Homo-oligomer: A and B are copies of this chain.
């Protein structure tokens, strides 16, 4: 398969949008942003063996590279629109490419997201995506808006993806360090922890709904405490977190002892939940929103004067929570 055949293959599957004047196939894509809207732009790359285990199913890689970028759009409150993809492959493997795009377009269709261009190159397996979203001027959920007295919230449950990664690293079931080839893809469709690792769900609807409610927001990709520290640094404030308030799934509780579970929740990355702050006057609105979206929202602490994140009275950076991150 030549590069041009590959591009033609991708082009056939790319969805249309009214604001895409010209999609895949010229020197550039041409896009017509709706009048009065601003653009939110993010770019995240995934490298094999660094951001996902080499055994990860191609469809899960395709899903995940889009999910992590949509998660950044969600964290700004933006509506997903268009993307460009750089796909570096060791060889032109038709089966890999088709499966990759099965996963990619499955998620893209859920969000009306159009792939409009990109590049295919020969090299070690590496994927970079630039995602564009639309946001009303002044409505973006930035990191720098948290104020002392605000509540700190997090969506969904924490630690599931890191728990799956830990099980994989330990070769669950005595299969040896690093796990067996094929282990992940066999697990991913039945195990609730592995589905969080392989098929993260970007909280796009939540991000949109938080416009006008949240004072700051970030997605949990590096681990809750590390990501909340970014909000604190940008906002010139501190945070005080109650470790027992961090939400855990039943699967995580069943799989790990309490101490390990807490560390996974506090410092494990890759969950792609949203961590956000809001004035205490927003509590009722957020409880209602949780019901509307059928998504748990947990109040886990408070923004305080000062700097840094305290967790159960300990400095989070020195609290041993980085262990599994």
Is A251 in contact with chain B by the CB < 8 A criterion? no
Comparing A134-142, A163-171, A304-312, the segment that makes contact with chain B is A134-142
With contacts A30-B39, A119-B45 known, is A25 near B234, CB below 8 A? yes
Is A88 in contact with chain B by the CB < 8 A criterion? yes
Docked Cα-Cα span, A21 to B136, in Å, equals: 12
Q: Do B40 and A88 touch across chains, with their CB atoms under 8 A apart?
A: no
Docked Cα-Cα span, A135 to B27, in Å, equals: 13
CB contact between A43 and one of B25, B31, B85 (< 8 Å): that residue: B85
Most B C-beta atoms less than 10 A away, residue of A43, A46, A124: A43
Q: Do A38 and B30 touch across chains, with their CB atoms under 8 A apart?
A: yes
Is A22 in contact with chain B by the CB < 8 A criterion? yes
Is A155 in contact with chain B by the CB < 8 A criterion? no
Contact with B along A259-276 (1 / 0, CB 8 A): 000000000000000000
With contacts A88-B45, A116-B41 known, is A30 near B135, CB below 8 A? yes
Q: Is the interface of A mostly helix, strand, loop or mixed?
A: strand
Q: Do B35 and A86 touch across chains, with their CB atoms under 8 A apart?
A: no
Docked Cα-Cα span, A234 to B8, in Å, equals: 13
Is A26 in contact with chain B by the CB < 8 A criterion? yes
Q: Do A128 and B22 touch across chains, with their CB atoms under 8 A apart?
A: no
Is A219 in contact with chain B by the CB < 8 A criterion? yes
Comparing A9-17, A70-78, A105-113, the segment that makes contact with chain B is A70-78
Residues of B within 8 A of A128 (CB): 43, 45, 86, 119, 128
Residues of B within 8 A of A244 (CB): none
Residues of B within 8 A of A219 (CB): 27
Q: Do A26 and B86 touch across chains, with their CB atoms under 8 A apart?
A: no
Known: A26-B142, A27-B72, A29-B39. 5 other contacts (CB 8 A): A28-B73, A28-B75, A39-B39, A50-B122, A126-B126
**What are 26 inter-chain pairs, A to B, with CB distance below 8 A?**
A22-B142, A26-B76, A26-B142, A26-B143, A27-B73, A27-B143, A28-B40, A28-B42, A28-B140, A29-B41, A30-B40, A30-B135, A30-B140, A31-B38, A31-B39, A31-B40, A31-B41, A32-B38, A41-B82, A44-B86, A46-B121, A50-B122, A50-B123, A84-B130, A123-B124, A126-B126
